[in-house]
């Protein structure tokens, strides 16, 4: 029994950092309630757009409209996080997001009109990306460096819980009370997140910085030159999302390959999230992984292999299992990629480089949707999935060869000397 208990402790996500850091508890609470609230709105907006237009194209354009604000918010928000108190950046982003959700509620009462359903979610997406960049930059300053991977795994678990609970709750509320209540609940969740963030201690970046803006962003990007470990963390995720993200062909696969309808489609969309949640909840082992670059490469190879096999099967249960495996692998990749960037970047630049990470994470899947859709139009949906999965595997192997410092990247075994030396803006 003792051996089984030890195995369970090493498998289940480790919550010990929460007991050690009050600031982390506040940050975790803010993350959980804001993710659940954001998922409420993520479901309600396309629901309303489709009710108004009866157009799937219009629903897709709502997501596309968020791409530029997401990237701009991530990059500029990251530069702001390196120039100001990161807690304040998080607070203001939550306040602006709450105003957007309140605006959606008022629009529902008044009409609703279509244009606010495009403009307000796009603005909220930019504010959210800015807040996420600031939050990610805070993490290494509120836990020991040896606990950063464990903390990232815990935040992935919180995020995935919100990803599952939010849409389920939104469906119930939309059927029972309507979209207005959903938007007000999102507003309330963001108000709660603001209270949690206000309870944190100040979180200013160490070292001198420069005023936020495009020059500050450029200085952060300049730090990437010659640093293969950080470059690899970005590029391997772009590779996985652009080539191995088959969401755009799920509707065609549900009908043509699996012979189902809306219920089958819902299962296809839910399976990666279910796998990601299970993967996040079983990450108690990540703190013992030293070869983090190889761990990312292995996770992306598993993702690509699972997606390739998904394109080959015609039995729905097997397809769902493969998508779940892919989702679990994606979580492991995300944990180690974030840890590599957070610990390899000086604190004075961390907000900007985490902003780049947010731009990659949010922009890659949208480019992947376009890629898989274009290939499906030319070659068919199954061929799109299979070719994308194989391209993902080939890209990961190529990056491992071209970026040996990323492949060899190891986590420090102790806190002392684990991170990069502090730098000034002039050094970048």
CA distance 100 to 346: 33
Low pLDDT (below 50) residues in the chain: 4-5, 7, 413-428
Total of domains in the chain: 2
Looking at the structure, do residues 256 and 176 belong to the same domain, yes or no? no
Domain assignment present for 4 = no
Q: Which residues is 204 bridged to in the sheet?
A: 85
- Is the Cβ–Cβ distance between 100 and 124 less than 8 Å? yes
Looking at the structure, do residues 228 and 356 belong to the same domain, yes or no? yes
Looking at the structure, do residues 285 and 145 belong to the same domain, yes or no? no
CA distance 42 to 90: 20
Looking at the structure, do residues 99 and 183 belong to the same domain, yes or no? yes
Given 154, 176, 204, the domain boundary residue is: 204
Exposed, middle or buried: residue 359 (CB in 10 Å: 0-12, 13-18, 19+)?
Answer: buried
Tokens of 20: 């050690």
CA distance 93 to 106: 20
pLDDT of residue 207: 65
Looking at the structure, do residues 99 and 161 belong to the same domain, yes or no? yes
Residue closest to 301 by CA, chosen among 405, 400, 232: 400
| Structural domain containing residue 316 | 223-413
Q: What do you get for the CA distance between the two ends of the chain, in Å?
A: 54
CA distance 35 to 182: 14
pLDDT of residue 256: 85
CA distance 24 to 420: 22
Looking at the structure, do residues 315 and 247 belong to the same domain, yes or no? yes
Domain assignment present for 425 = no
Domain assignment present for 239 = yes
- Is the Cβ–Cβ distance between 261 and 255 less than 8 Å? yes
Domain assignment present for 37 = yes
Looking at the structure, do residues 256 and 197 belong to the same domain, yes or no? no
Looking at the structure, do residues 134 and 242 belong to the same domain, yes or no? no
Whichever domain contains 66, its CATH number is: 1.20.1250.20
Residue closest to 209 by CA, chosen among 349, 355, 354: 349
Looking at the structure, do residues 186 and 264 belong to the same domain, yes or no? no
Domain assignment present for 265 = yes
> Strands, E, within 179-244: which ranges?
none
Looking at the structure, do residues 231 and 186 belong to the same domain, yes or no? no
- CB count within 10 Å of CB 201 equals 11
Looking at the structure, do residues 177 and 258 belong to the same domain, yes or no? no
CA distance 197 to 168: 26
Main-chain dihedrals φ then ψ at residue 358, nearest 5 degrees:
-65, -40
Looking at the structure, do residues 241 and 390 belong to the same domain, yes or no? yes
pLDDT of residue 265: 76
pLDDT of residue 209: 61
Q: Residue 204 gets which letter from DSSP?
A: B
CA distance 133 to 153: 17
pLDDT of residue 5: 47
Domain assignment present for 319 = yes
Tokens of 95: 């306040």
Given 175, 204, 233, the domain boundary residue is: 204
Domain assignment present for 426 = no
Q: Name residues whose C-beta falls within 8 Å of residue 313's C-beta, 6 or more positions apart in sequence.
A: 319, 322
How does pLDDT run across 331-373, given as a tens digit for each residue?
999 999 999 999 999 998 999 999 999 888 888 887 887 788 8
Domain assignment present for 212 = no
- For helices 67-81 and 86-110, the axis angle rounded to 10 degrees is 150
How does pLDDT run across 29-86, given as a tens digit for each residue?
998 999 889 888 888 888 888 888 877 667 777 877 888 999 999 999 999 999 989 9
């Amino acid at each position: 029994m003792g051996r089984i208990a030890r195995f369970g402790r090493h498998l289940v996500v480790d919550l010990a950092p929460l007991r050690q850091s009050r600031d982390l508890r506040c940050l975790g609470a803010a993350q959980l309630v804001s993710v659940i609230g954001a998922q409420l709105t993520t479901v309600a907006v396309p629901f309303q757009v489709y009710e108004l237009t009866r157009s799937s194209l219009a629903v897709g354009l709502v997501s596309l409209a968020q791409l530029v604000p997401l990237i701009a918010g991530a990059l500029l928000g990251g530069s702001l996080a390196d120039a100001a108190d990161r807690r304040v950046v998080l607070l203001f982003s939550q306040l602006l997001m709450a105003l957007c959700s309140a605006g959606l509620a008022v629009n529902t009462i008044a009409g609703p009109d279509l244009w606010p359903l495009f403009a307000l979610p796009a603005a909220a997406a930019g504010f959210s990306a800015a807040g996420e960049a600031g939050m990610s930059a805070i993490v290494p300053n509120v836990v020991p460096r040896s606990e950063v991977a464990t903390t990232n795994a815990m935040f992935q678990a919180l995020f995935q819980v919100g990803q599952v609970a939010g849409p389920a709750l939104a469906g119930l509320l939309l059927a029972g009370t309507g979209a207005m209540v959903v938007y007000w609940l999102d507003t309330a969740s963001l108000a709660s997140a603001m209270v949690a963030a206000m309870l944190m201690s100040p979180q200013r970046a160490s070292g001198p910085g420069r005023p936020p803006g495009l020059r500050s962003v450029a200085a952060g990007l300049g730090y990437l030159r010659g640093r293969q470990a950080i470059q690899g963390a970005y590029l391997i995720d772009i590779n996985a999302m652009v080539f191995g993200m088959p969401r755009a062909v799920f509707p065609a696969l549900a009908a043509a390959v699996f012979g189902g309808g809306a219920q089958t489609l819902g299962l296809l969309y839910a399976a990666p999230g279910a796998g990601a949640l299970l993967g996040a909840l079983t990450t108690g082992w990540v703190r013992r992984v030293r070869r983090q670059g190889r761990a990312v490469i292995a996770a992306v190879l598993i993702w690509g292999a699972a997606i390739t096999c998904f394109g080959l099967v015609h039995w729905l249960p097997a397809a769902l299992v493969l998508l779940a495996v892919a989702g679990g692998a994606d979580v492991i990749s995300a944990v180690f990629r974030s840890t590599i960037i957070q610990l390899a970047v000086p604190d004075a630049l961390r907000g900007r480089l985490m902003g780049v990470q947010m731009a990659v994470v949010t922009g890659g899947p949208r480019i992947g949707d376009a890629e898989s859709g274009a290939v499906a139009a030319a070659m068919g949906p199954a061929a799109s999935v299979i070719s994308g999965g194989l391209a993902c595997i080939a890209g990961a192997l190529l990056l491992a060869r071209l970026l040996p410092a990323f492949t060899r990247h190891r986590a420090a075994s102790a806190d002392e000397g684990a991170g990069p030396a502090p730098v000034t803006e002039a050094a970048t």
